[in-house]
Chain A
Amino acid sequence: MRQEQNDNGNNYALLFQDGNEKALSFFYHEFYPALAHYSFQLTQNRPIAEEIASEAFVKVWRMHYKLNSYGGIKAYLYKIVHRDSIKAVISEQKRAKTHRNLQTETTSDTPFDNLVRSEVYRIIHTALKDLSPARRRVVIMYYLEGKTTGQIAQELNLHPSTIKAQKKDGFNELKKSFIKPMLWVFYFCIKIFLGF
């Protein structure tokens, strides 16, 4: 499944290079929350983090002709957000005239750690995005806490069979959210086969 998602991403990347706005929308929706989250790790300020994230797309879109792979676009977006977030922190420090050491202020996180964090949450957030709140709750509880059906039922005051149904539906929805991208891939394969 990962392979299909990769192909889908790379197809959008080629459209991105062509300046296709559908591709811009795809990447925006795919990465905006994660990039804002990444910036937030450094700036600790939500409005600024979100602004930096949206500006990153503006900058990357200006050079769309240079980028033609999913990984390349992702890496470049994170790179820009990282740079702009550091800039924002430094200018904030200058304004507030406090000499806090960036390192000791938060944790001993390296850029690698920040990137892994945002990416992990992005992957899980995306997978859960399309579920209804009720199903989401159940799936999260199952994933995170490894709780058995009985334990979840007790906690939510529901009958175990309801939990089982919610879990099953939750998984089915997750499965469904893979079918759409696969159809896109199929569509693109046909397009490529016919030579655009």
Chain B
Amino acid sequence: MKENRYSDMDNAASRTAYLIAGFIRHTLTEKEHDELDNWVNESDHNMQLFEDLTDEKNLAANLEWMDKVQTEQSYRAMQEKGAFKAPLKKFYNKKIWLAAASVIVLLGVFFVYRYTTSKPGSVEDIVTTDTTLLKPGGNRATLTLADGRVIDLTYAKTGAIESDSGSHVNKTADGELVYVKDSSATNTAALHTLSTPVGGQYQVTLPDGTKVWLNAATTLKYPPAFSNNERTVIITGEAYFEVAKNERKPFRVLMEDSTTVVVTGTHFNINAYQNEKEQQVTLLEGSVTVSNATNVTKLEPGTQALIKNKLITKDKVLDADEITGWKDGLFVFHDATIESIMMQLERWYDAKIIYKANIKQLFNATILRKEPLTKVIKLLELNGYVHFKIENNTIYVLP
């Protein structure tokens, strides 16, 4: 699991603690001993900390302190006062329970009536007839060169990929494409197109070192060699960018509706699907300017630009994971509507969605994208506010 949202400090501190503890317990390997020596010698501060921690009196005193901590008692006490069940406590209100119970009874009667007089085939359980459909997506994409040749990257072998305009491209691993920085590339007006199908995803490193992750149903157009004064790419769909720093050559991303994002070196996510009502640009690190014919908006890290009907509004983003979880192989739903969830499932599992009800409930879940659809569906059904039926390649959303 990637933990890139947590600082490197935690990893470094854990490693250092492991080494020092190992030193005290005489369990270090020679290599680990060397690693510890290097760390201690890095600075007087480190040396001081090391001496402090390996001092017998300190060690004995601190271990004694921890001995006095009554963990089991504390845990039991917390359990007893219901600290870990806090949210559910609200439902023990008698009035609410009675009201809920009577509603449930009424609904029960209603549904029994409805389903006993309806046609066969309307079953509440998930029915999957064909196991070859609705599989999770994977690393699939095509690369279209400037001269029109199309290369299927899904089945290409790792190694050099044929290219044109004097550029060199390598498939370095499953799902990864890397452009070699090549000053001999001649035609800077040429464009390459990297395109993922529904159920596809891919990662590309552009000739300037910028890394781009493409989500499903996404197309990125870029020159195999950037010009001398700027770097411009065009996108439809969703992609996450880690732009290589170059203040002399600003990086520009154009969206199909001619909204432009300008950056110098930063991390951000663009969601610009043609079939959605609004587009979003979310900034994680650095700084970007989002502009179109009528508005200009500057973003700070942790904020998002929403583009709807040619208007740009700015919003604060509380949960960056929700926006970029997809690039780490996760669906992250945080107070998400069923529509936004189904849209993502549609794109990843190549499914058709048919709504048989208007579900108002918001959902929270974090699921691996490589899980089969049936598992994702089961997880969403857990709270009981929605049900699904799968037939061939269609998902029915039921109350």
- Residue numbers of A with Cβ under 8 A of B are 2, 10, 17, 21, 24-25, 28-29, 32-34, 36-37, 40, 46, 50, 54, 57-58, 61-62, 65-66, 68-69, 71-72, 74-76, 78-79, 108, 110-113, 115-125, 127-128, 140, 143-145
Contacts and interface: CB of A to CB of B under 8 A. Distances in A.
Contacts of A28: 71, 75, 78
Contact of B62 (A37, A54, A75): A37
B65 A143 contact: no
Interface in B39-75: 45, 49, 53, 56, 59-60, 62-63, 65-69, 71-72, 74-75
B11 A71 contact: yes
Interface residues of B, number: 45
B253 to A, nearest CB: 29
Given A112-B9, A140-B60, A119 B3 contact: no
11 contacts: A29-B75, A32-B69, A33-B66, A34-B66, A62-B86, A68-B366, A71-B11, A74-B14, A76-B6, A115-B13, A140-B60
B13 A32 contact: no
Given A37-B66, A140-B63, 9 more contacts: A2-B18, A36-B66, A69-B1, A74-B10, A112-B13, A124-B24, A125-B66, A140-B60, A144-B24
Contacts of B72: 29
B53 A117 contact: yes
B74 A50 contact: yes
A72 B56 contact: no
Contacts of A69: 1, 3
Nearest to A49: B69
Interface string B331-359: 01000000000000000000000000000
A32 B49 contact: no
Contacts, number: 131
A115 B49 contact: no
A119 B13 contact: yes
A61 B364 contact: no
A36 B65 CA distance: 10
Contacts of B100: none
Contact of A123 (B21, B87, B321): B21
Given A76-B6, A124-B25, A143-B26, A17 B13 contact: no
Nearest to B55: A144
Given A65-B365, A112-B9, A113-B49, A71 B14 contact: yes
B3 A66 contact: no
Given A58-B83, A69-B3, A112-B13, A144 B49 contact: no
A148 to B, nearest CB: 14
A120 B20 contact: yes
Nearest to B334: A66
B17 interface: yes
A74 B83 CA distance: 20
Given A29-B72, A65-B364, A119 B6 contact: no
A37 B14 contact: no
Interface in B1-44: 1, 3, 6-7, 9-14, 16-18, 20-21, 24-26
A57 B78 contact: yes
B45 to A, nearest CB: 8
Contacts of A110: 45
A69 B26 CA distance: 29
B110 interface: no
Nearest to B25: A143
A174 to B, nearest CB: 9
B27 to A, nearest CB: 9
Given A50-B69, A54-B78, A124-B63, A116 B49 contact: yes
